[in-house]
Chain A
């Protein structure tokens, strides 16, 4: 069974540009989570999808961040326009149900905004 995959693994962009991160959850997992780790800080929750619907987006920093989950499969997280403080590692995780105690994490996308 394939794990959670994320693309790209690294992205370096200039301030003001747009970047789109992609996450492919484990097949059949309805729940998809995005987290972010800014350097030196803890991993923080961004949002939670159940199938294609946003269940909770309370962790999204501001309206420069837009997340979508097409057809309840893969998800994208777009940052537009990117700012320096957006740099960090973006993790995606999935679980079969919200009640599952284990979330399966992807390797993360390291975003550097210069």
Chain B
């Protein structure tokens, strides 16, 4: 069965510092991987996705993630944090079989950005 593990339920960085949010997945088949972000009082918004093309994926708002098969990881990074990046971030893997589309999420990581 597929699963997603996000290390760290809370991450705090200073404005301008590197953002690194960790995600490890478990899948017996090549996965489709996603990062979503949820700002307060809003729905989940897709940041970026990996669908078996380039292993380094660039998303919106300066975020990127690298798919590393050997490490079963898909960590999210941003070189310089901005106050507006404060939100909750979710890593997800698309489930194979079944209805072909439902997502399996990690528990989420809340990012705080200090001035």
The count of residues in chain B whose C-beta lies closer than 8 Å to any C-beta of chain A is: 27
* B105 contacts A98, C-beta separation under 8 Å: no
Q: Quick one: closest B residue to A58, CB to CB?
A: B98
The count of residues in chain A whose C-beta lies closer than 8 Å to any C-beta of chain B is: 30
Q: Which of these binds chain A: B20-28, B38-46, B63-71, B74-82?
A: B38-46
Q: Mark A62-98, 1 if CB is under 8 A from B, else 0.
A: 0000000000000000000000000000010101001
Which residues of A from 29 to 49 have beta carbons under 8 Å from B? 31, 33, 35, 40-45, 48
The interface residues of chain B lying within 8 Å CB-to-CB of A99 are 100-101
CB-contact partner of B101 in A41, A59, A98, A108, under 8 A: A98
Q: Shortest beta-carbon distance, B22 to chain A, in Å? A: 15
For residue B107, CB closer than 8 A to chain A, the reply is: yes
For residue B90, CB closer than 8 A to chain A, the reply is: yes
The interface residues of chain B lying within 8 Å CB-to-CB of A58 are 98
The interface residues of chain B lying within 8 Å CB-to-CB of A14 are none
Residue positions of B touching A, CB distance < 8 A: 4, 32, 34, 36, 41-46, 49, 51, 90, 92, 94-95, 98-108
